[in-house]
Amino acid sequence: MAPLEVIGAAYSRTGTDSLRTALNMLGYKTHHMRAMFEGNGHPELFAQAYDNPEKPADWDRMYEGWEAAVDCPTVCFIRPLIAAYPDAKVILIERDADSWYDSVKNSIYKLSTVDEEEYDDYGRCLQRMTKKIWMDGVFENGEFIANPDAVKAKYKAHNAWVKEYVPQERLLTLNLNEGIGWEKICEFLGKPVPDEPYPRINSTTQLNEELPQLIDQLKPQ
């Protein structure tokens, strides 16, 4: 299996699905939370890696068949992943913390409130994993709703940490509020600029329309 070549360090709702689509257009097979919802993942292994950071994790197994990875669960493991894949390039997309929080609250937060009994065994495992690891459990412990300012501070601290910790020659930082296009990404990855426009998908409205379908994928068939 080829190791990860591109690692997304940005939290969900910062254009990660558009980035996934863009990387696929550039020839990468890109892991994203959507793959997990489609049953293509190992939520139990990611949970174990989170619970036991001192133990070696089998990242090659968790990312088997993928060449790039963005969004959750990847964003929760940036430190070990850039160590495991030292040649991988890292892309961080920033966004204004207030608009980011509102986007999460009005979309993916709703998934965390679904009664896990509605899901099959895999779905329950995936939901437990996500609530446990995403921003160190702010969905699980109620902090996301109870203390928005603390959650926004964690979000900004994560972005600051990535910019300080990841070697600059391996890091591309983009800002969603300023618009994202092909030029910087393609130059960073050494890829030609596609003839097609940079993808802009998965708005809050679009995701909310899709949520019932995503939930149904995790229910007993």
Q: pLDDT per residue over 40-90, tens digit each?
A: 889 999 999 999 999 999 999 999 999 999 999 999 999 999 999 999 999
State what percent of residues in the chain have pLDDT above 70: 97
DSSP track, 64-102: TT-SEE-STTGGGGHHHHHHHSTT-EEEEEE--HHHHHH
Binned at pLDDT 50, 70 and 90, residue 97 comes out as very high
pLDDT at 67: 97
Q: pLDDT per residue over 78-90, tens digit each?
A: 999 999 999 999 9
Binned at pLDDT 50, 70 and 90, residue 213 comes out as confident
Q: Which residues, listed in sequence order, are joined to residue 91 by a DSSP beta bridge? A: 8, 172
pLDDT higher for 201 or 112?
112
Q: Which domains does the chain have, with CATH numbers?
A: 6-217 (3.40.50.300)
Binned at pLDDT 50, 70 and 90, residue 204 comes out as low
Rounded to whole angstroms, the Cα distance separating 17 from 24 reads: 11
The answer to whether residues 173 and 161 touch, using CB atoms and an 8 Å cutoff, is no
Q: Checking DSSP bridges between strand 171-175 and strand 30-31, what pairing results, if any?
A: unpaired
pLDDT surpasses 70 at 184: yes
State what percent of residues in the chain have pLDDT above 90: 81
Binned at pLDDT 50, 70 and 90, residue 203 comes out as low
The answer to whether residues 20 and 34 touch, using CB atoms and an 8 Å cutoff, is yes
Average pLDDT of the chain is: 93
The stretch 155-184 carries a mean pLDDT of 96
The stretch 128-137 carries a mean pLDDT of 96
The stretch 147-152 carries a mean pLDDT of 98
